[in-house]
Structure 1
């Protein structure tokens, strides 16, 4: 019998085995992606408390200060505004736009896909024609025309970005809904008297949600890059508000004299889109039953 109060400790071999098992389950690249995305979300949520200065506060005596200064860790821009403060706010704005547009695109596309699977015939043909038209449309050129004509605002930008990529969700939702409708559980629920809305929302949607979530992780970085491109061209987020693409656009004029103005938001864009892609690919492999 073991003595009372004896505490068993894990052997080094057992600890190494646990670490190796964890690495096999979650690759290092995916762990980095999750960590980076979690950090971006925290920064976006608590941006008001993390900003050392207001984004419009100017210190003309410290114009184009290089990074590493005690007052300005990431340096200042051409107007003496703190780059770190503007970067924190830019992360919040870009993530809000990308998240809102991704949700809007997913809801709109999934609704049309379910409608095509439910009614078939003319409705299905119309949805597929709209999806083909959307896929063939040069979305960036259309976005430039709409923003140039109506002017840029946060609501318009989110709604415009929300129409990017909806045809993917429509095709996926339609195909999966038709497949699920031919299975036994959907027919059994219908026989029990469930309404079509209940069948699609309570039974079919949960079974196809994993595929739609993976599609959202693939669309999210594309929307971030699209918003960054529009802001870079001057038709996205307008001053005094700032976004990652907005900072890159204004920093390109000082690339040789003050590269940190442009490099800091560009690095955030690159790492964020890379992290989302890594996590999305990992989720696709984990949630795809054919790869198990």
Structure 2
């Protein structure tokens, strides 16, 4: 009838799902904001730190937070906790970022080797991956650091072995799937070499999955570095890290809890933020979840 208007068509369910995927949750925004803040602090540590992180102020030893001129207090030697926290963020992020890149690069390379050669090479790679997964990494790290000593380069390289087996399994599985889909074989038939096939064609197609895995491994490496530094086998003095600060602050937990609570809170919030963003990226980039 002319007087009756047609009801508006309901929004299709796929459109609503797509709109929800495009909407960034508030927690993800907070996580991204915190990550951006931490990165900015790490890059500008020498500029924003109010004092030298090794500069003592013996007249203000164990000063409480909001005790001017030290905003979040001082430690047992009178060193400014805020300055040490800023430098510790830079060192911990440097270790975690470098180790994550090493782990992803090494694991992806091993996965590609297993997918390309198959046979015994694949069995050896999978056997090493199983051994890495079965061996508690903390025990392995303690043994290596106790035997070879500790330098920052060795420490970053050792942390780069953490979690490589995940990338190896992902890269191997996706590379084998790429060969089954046919596009890798088509590129080979027109004369492309194995290195070009894996770097120029397969790697870009699996990069999103690897990036998501990196965001999930990154906070684990931060926690591992903090644990080793807490035990005295991580970053060595006079350099400082978040775990190092927590280790030194445990002796003053009852008298000056801010020495330990400041880096511990930073560790918790940073790992939580990266984990939240990593889960969101997995939901956005993983085609099996869409």
Matches within 5 A, 1:84-103: 84-103=82-101
Structure 2: which 5+ residue stretches go unaligned? 1-18
Cα shift at 1:24: 6.6
1:106 to 87, 104, 107: 104
Q: Which residue of 2 aligns with 1:215?
A: 213
| 2:64 pairs with 1:77 | no
TM-score, scaled to structure 2: 0.92
Partner-residue secondary structure (3-state), 1:182: helix
- What is the CA–CA distance in structure 2 between the aligned matches of 1:290 and 1:140, rounded to whole Å? 33
| 2:54 pairs with 1:56 | yes
Partner-residue secondary structure (3-state), 1:258: coil
Q: Deviations over 1:169-190 (max 9, x none)?
A: 0000000000011113212211
Partner-residue secondary structure (3-state), 2:110: helix
- What is the CA–CA distance in structure 1 between the aligned matches of 2:23 and 2:111, rounded to whole Å? 34
Q: Deviations over 1:191-235 (max 9, x none)?
A: 111011000000000000000001001110000000000000011
- What is the CA–CA distance in structure 1 between the aligned matches of 2:246 and 2:21, rounded to whole Å? 36
- What is the CA–CA distance in structure 2 between the aligned matches of 1:164 and 1:289, rounded to whole Å? 26
Q: Which residue of 2 aligns with 1:35?
A: 33
- What is the CA–CA distance in structure 2 between the aligned matches of 1:146 and 1:186, rounded to whole Å? 40
Cα shift at 1:69: 2.1
8 Å Cα contact 2:41/2:89 also seen in 1: yes
- How large is the RMSD of aligned CA atoms in angstroms? 1.2
Partner-residue secondary structure (3-state), 1:56: coil
1:243 to 241, 245, 249: 241
- What is the CA–CA distance in structure 1 between the aligned matches of 2:54 and 2:282, rounded to whole Å? 42
2:113 to 104, 112, 115: 115
Partner-residue secondary structure (3-state), 2:238: coil
Partner-residue secondary structure (3-state), 1:265: helix
- What is the CA–CA distance in structure 1 between the aligned matches of 2:22 and 2:288, rounded to whole Å? 19
- What is the CA–CA distance in structure 1 between the aligned matches of 2:207 and 2:21, rounded to whole Å? 27
- What is the CA–CA distance in structure 2 between the aligned matches of 1:141 and 1:116, rounded to whole Å? 27
| 2:236 pairs with 1:228 | no
TM-score, scaled to structure 1: 0.91
- What is the CA–CA distance in structure 2 between the aligned matches of 1:209 and 1:228, rounded to whole Å? 28
- What is the CA–CA distance in structure 1 between the aligned matches of 2:172 and 2:218, rounded to whole Å? 21
Structure 1: which 5+ residue stretches go unaligned? 1-20
8 Å Cα contact 2:111/2:168 also seen in 1: yes
Cα shift at 1:70: 2.5
8 Å Cα contact 2:21/2:284 also seen in 1: no
Structure 1 segments (4+ residues) deviating >3 Å: 21-24
Matches within 5 A, 1:110-259: 110-259=108-257
- What is the CA–CA distance in structure 1 between the aligned matches of 2:80 and 2:190, rounded to whole Å? 63
Partner-residue secondary structure (3-state), 2:39: helix
Cα shift at 1:23: 10
